[in-house]
Structure formats: C-alpha cells, structure tokens
Amino acid sequence: MNQLRSAALIGSFIGLASTLSACGSGPLGPQEMTQNAAPGRVSWRNGTLAVHADRSRSWMAPDAKKNDLLYVADNGTNDVYVYSYPRGKLMGTLTGFNTPGGLCTDRAGDVFVTNVFDWDVLEYAHGGTSPIETLSQDPETYPDGCAVDPKTGNLAVIDSASGGELNVDPNSVGPGQVVIYRHAQGTPKFYKAIYFPYNAGYDNAGNLFVDGEGAGFSPFEFSELRKGKNTFTPIALNQSFELAGGVQWDGTHIAVGDVRDSAIYEFAINGAVGTETGTTPLTGTYDVWEFWIQGGKVVVPSSEVISSQDLSSVLLYDYPAGGAAARTVTGPFVYPVGVTVSGVPK
C-alpha cells in the first residue's frame, strides 16, 4: 500500500478516535483503539494500521451468484462489500482482511483481493464467501493493486516495498516491484518497475501498464512491460497528474486516473509516448484510488472523511462521457479504495 493512501487511512481513524474522545473516553492509545474502534477492528503493527482476521462473519445472499456483482474494498472497515451490478443492492460482505487493497477479476468471474498486511492475495469464486486460493508473498512485500491478463490469466500484483510505512525517509527503503503469477498460480516472477508503483492494468494484447511515483515521491511516472519482455519501458504521457490513480484498458485505450483531480484520462500508446485522446470528468468525487470500467459505465470509489463525518460512497458514471454520476451506491463505507465487477460465469 502506498504511503499516501496509508496516511489518509490513518487520518480517518484519527477522526474516529477524536469522536470517541469527545464522548468522554479521553485520548485513545493504540491498545484502546484496538478495543474500542469496532467498525475498523483496528490494531497497530510497526506503526501501520492492521486488523485481525475473522472470516466467520462473511455472508452472501442466496441469489448472489445469479447476478453480476460489484465488489468494493474498504480500507476503513477492512471488509469487502458485494452489490448487484449495476443496480447496487447489497448482496454480501467478505470479512477478516488485514487491510484489503486492490481488486481485480478474471474471465471466469473469480475475484482477487490483495490482503496488504497479511502479505497475500486471496481469490474468491463469483459470489463465494471463502477463498478458493491463497497466493502468499514474502513478509514485508505488501501487495496492493492488481490486474489480470485477459488472454493468459496471468495475475500481476503491485508490491509496494515501502509497505506504506510512515515517518521514514522514502529513499531509505527498497523500491517497489511488480510480481506476476503465471495463470494466477504458483511462485511469481518479480519485475522492477517504478520506485513507488501504485496501480496496474493489462491491455487486450497482454501488455502491462503501471503508474506511480519515483524515489522521494517525485512526479508521476508511467511504465509498460510489453508482452514477452522482462523489463519495463518508461512511457511519457502528455498530461500531468497530481497523484497516480487506477489503470485499466477500456477496450480502445489505456485509461489512467488521477486520485485528486476527479478525472480519468484516456491514452493511445505508441512506443514510449502516450497521447491523450479523451477525458472523463468525475463530478462530485474526492479521493479516487481505483476505478472499474464495465458495460458503458465506470465505477468509482469516492473516499472522503472530514473529521468524524464520513462522506464516502461508490459512484457510477457513464463512460467515457463522465460528468454527473448516473447512480450512487451508499453503504457502510469508511474509506473505499478498490472496486471490480465480476460477471456471472458462462
């Protein structure tokens, strides 16, 4: 998980702690937060937020498997919420994560959830409540964003080597990398990419694109691992970004989000240059860490916590037009960061 996302998450729980303090409990230390902050089941590990696994409370509606499903990963509650798509009816909840990060889906409708502080990736069948596969990584690798190659089924996972640790010199920790599991199984292969990689997306030809920031959190960087190659190639985009957001192939172009700019930009890639072909404005959003394009819509988690007031939601926009949201999904969201849509298996 990147450091900026961790900082925002910690800020949301500082607001929660302030609320509890205002109710007369006094300032909360780490142990008191573990006991009292029930919505997030918060604890601390090496200065970062973490939770304790408890999958016994996962549930799914009996007819969930008959519907296309929208999955929403929430850093604040440490749960993944499941809704019918595009209607937005709550169909289930997956629990017990140690900070869920990115979400992605394969052609069979299986959903992958990066479990950041347990250093693994959990795979769920469409509408299932228990993992059907656990892909473990070495401790301290911190898996975050993910993407599945639609042709091969290979699973790419962002390894944020800094682990989202706060109050450290960003140049004193090793660079992040991308790990790729062949057919989403077995031992992955590691690739050096951007120093702080955040998000990944495959195009229809099996090329992998990654965005993020350089050492010392230098300006936005974008890079491509071309199919069959072993090294990433930097790509220059003719658009500035405030903070690297989601990456996804939209069927014609590579779409790249800006977390803070409330917009998704589309690019045509030619060699080492990406030329902007369009913009999708996301009116009414705040922090947009990821997005998912599906069936003429783009699903956007909007994360906004001001003091103790939670304004987070999940919004559906017409794609690529954007503008005002076509639908708003409300729920028990605190800090939603990841979304994906799983279609009914054929």
pLDDT band at residue 69 under the 50/70/90 scheme: very high
Sequential DSSP letters for 94-116:
E---SSEEEEEE-TT--EEEEEG
Residue with the two structure tokens 């957001």? 245
pLDDT band, residue 21 (cuts 50/70/90): very low
Q: What average pLDDT does the chain have?
A: 82
* Ranges of H-type helices in the chain: 3-20, 30-36
Q: By C-alpha distance, which of 156, 144, 136 is closest to 2?
A: 144
pLDDT of 51 > 80? The answer is no
Digit-coded pLDDT (tens) for 76-90: 899 999 999 999 999
Superfamily of domain 51-342: TolB, C-terminal domain (2.120.10.30)
pLDDT tens-digit map of 308-341: 566 899 999 999 999 999 999 988 999 999 999 9
Place of tokens 């509890």: 20
pLDDT band at 37 (very low <50, low <70, confident <90, very high): very low
Q: What is the tens place of the pLDDT at every residue in 152-179?
A: 999 999 987 643 443 345 454 557 799 9
- What is the distance between the alpha carbons of residues 320 and 14, in angstroms, rounded to a whole number? 36
**Backbone torsions φ then ψ of 34, nearest 5 degrees:** -60, -40
Q: Which residue has the tokens 């989000």?
A: 257
CA nearest to 194, candidates 166, 222, 227, 235: 222
Q: Name which residue leads in pLDDT, 56 or 179.
A: 179
Contact 81, 337 (CB under 8 A): no
Among 168, 223, 216, 169, residue whose Cα is nearest residue 194: 223
Looking at per-residue confidence, does 187 or 104 come out higher? 104
**What's the whole-model pTM score?**
0.84
* Cα-trace Rg, the chain: 19
The residue extents of the domains of the chain are 51-342
- C-alpha 160/C-alpha 137 separation (Å) is 12
Q: Which residues of 270-280 are buried (b: 16+ CB within 10 A; e: fewer)?
A: eeeebeeebeb
